[in-house]
């Protein structure tokens, strides 16, 4: 991203300040990492203060929707009812559910139960029962800004094995978040997440990861958990991405439903758990924008 901006031109970030007193030193620092062979972010994925404000407004809806689902989800409810709650709450707050019609996805939210890894499609025929664990993955568009997070819900009394899976999947986010620092690397986070899951005897799905997000649903970088510290994209203030590892109780293998082409399952039929947060890299660490 060798900048063609003149020192006295207005900065690309929209601050109204001259480039030389705003992001020039920042860009030069990034350039030094690039010259050392690191993957570095372009301006197109570095969020300006205005972008960040827009994403935060969108995330307010996303968080409220997941809170709302948490208050109402219970045994006997169909996943279609969850979809209805998400649609109603999101639109009542002025947002658009991002999954709806996204690459042909037919519903407003993904609901993935037990051995379903992700991208489960809500249905009148899928009824929550005592002992189920379910991921509700919610994404919102507001004024063109995207937010995305997901949570696990435990339905009634859940087995200790499933409870531990859900708990460790949640801890993976905390470990990952601690490793997100400006001028660190995405792989620092990936390795921290990976190591925590594997230390607990679990595996993490490799084919599906998190993503940059903000002005689009899925932006660069792709966010995996099989990377090593010190590798992958340089983290700089203004970068926004999701951390959303899919933690499997058993083997790492997955397959996609060959009828609906969406739902992903564990190959061995054992449960999988996933939490997702949307994170902003700041000057001194990270801020969680949606959870
Ligand atoms: N929310 C998912 C994610 O974390 C995206 C699902 S795409 C959909 O990236 F179409 F299935 F909604
Ligand atoms: Co996501």
Tens-digit pLDDT profile for residues 215-268: 999 999 999 999 999 999 999 999 999 999 999 999 999 999 999 999 999 999
φ, ψ dihedrals at 225, nearest 5°: -130, 25
pLDDT of 3 > 70? The answer is no
Q: What is the pLDDT of residues 183-219, one digit of tens each?
A: 999 999 999 999 999 999 999 999 999 999 999 999 9
**Six token digits for residue 215:** 């002005």
**Residue having the nearest C-alpha atom to atom 10 of ligand 1:** 99
**Six token digits for residue 17:** 């300040």
Q: Give, in degrees to the nearest 5, the angle at Cα 84 between 82 and 86.
A: 70
From the CB of 97, is ligand 1 less than 6 Å away? no
Write the DSSP symbol of residue 184. S
Q: Which atom of ligand 1 is nearest to the CA of 103?
A: 10
Between CA 11 and CA 5 the distance in angstroms is 8
Ligand sitting nearest the alpha carbon of 83: 1
- Centre of ligand 1 to C-alpha 99, Å, is 6
Q: What is the pLDDT of residues 46-99, one digit of tens each?
A: 999 999 999 999 999 999 999 999 999 999 999 999 999 999 999 999 999 999
Of all residues in the chain, the percent with pLDDT exceeding 70 is 99
Alpha carbon 157 to chain centroid, angstroms: 28
φ, ψ dihedrals at 274, nearest 5°: -150, 130
Q: Which atom of ligand 1 is nearest to the CA of 217?
A: 9
Between CA 33 and CA 22 the distance in angstroms is 19
- Centre of ligand 1 to C-alpha 230, Å, is 28
Residue 4 has what pLDDT?
Answer: 80
- Sequence-ordered list of residues with C-beta below 8 angstroms from that of 151, at least 6 positions apart, any chain: 66, 69, 70, 135, 136, 275, 276, 291
């Amino acid at each position: 991203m060798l900048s063609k901006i003149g020192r006295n031109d207005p900065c690309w970030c929209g601050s109204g300040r001259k480039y030389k007193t705003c992001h020039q030193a920042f860009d030069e620092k990034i350039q030094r990492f690039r010259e050392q062979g690191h993957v570095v972010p372009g301006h197109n994925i570095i969020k300006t203060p205005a972008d960040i404000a827009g994403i935060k407004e969108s995330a307010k809806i996303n968080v409220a929707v997941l809170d709302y689902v948490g208050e109402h989800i219970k045994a006997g409810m169909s996943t279609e009812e969850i979809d209805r709650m998400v649609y109603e709450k999101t639109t009542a707050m002025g947002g658009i559910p991002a999954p709806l019609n996204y690459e042909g996805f037919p519903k407003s939210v993904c609901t993935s139960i037990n051995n379903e890894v992700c991208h489960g499609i809500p249905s009148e025929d899928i009824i929550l029962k005592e002992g189920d664990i379910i991921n509700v993955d919610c994404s919102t568009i507001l004024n063109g800004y995207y937010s995305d997070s997901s949570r696990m819900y435990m339905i009634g009394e859940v087995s200790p094995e499933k409870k531990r899976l859900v708990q460790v999947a949640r801890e993976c986010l905390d470990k990952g978040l601690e490793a997100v620092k400006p001028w660190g690397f995405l792989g620092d986070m990936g390795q921290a997440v990976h190591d925590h899951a594997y230390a607990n005897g679990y595996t993490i799905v490799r084919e599906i990861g998190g993503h940059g997000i903000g002005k689009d649903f899925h932006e660069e970088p792709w966010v995996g958990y099989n990377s090593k510290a010190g590798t992958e994209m340089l983290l700089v203030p203004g970068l926004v991405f999701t951390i959303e590892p899919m933690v499997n109780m058993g083997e790492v293998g997955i397959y996609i439903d060959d009828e609906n082409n969406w739902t992903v399952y564990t190959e061995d039929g054992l449960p999988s758990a996933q939490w997702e947060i949307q994170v902003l890299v700041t000057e001194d660490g990270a801020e969680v924008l949606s959870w």
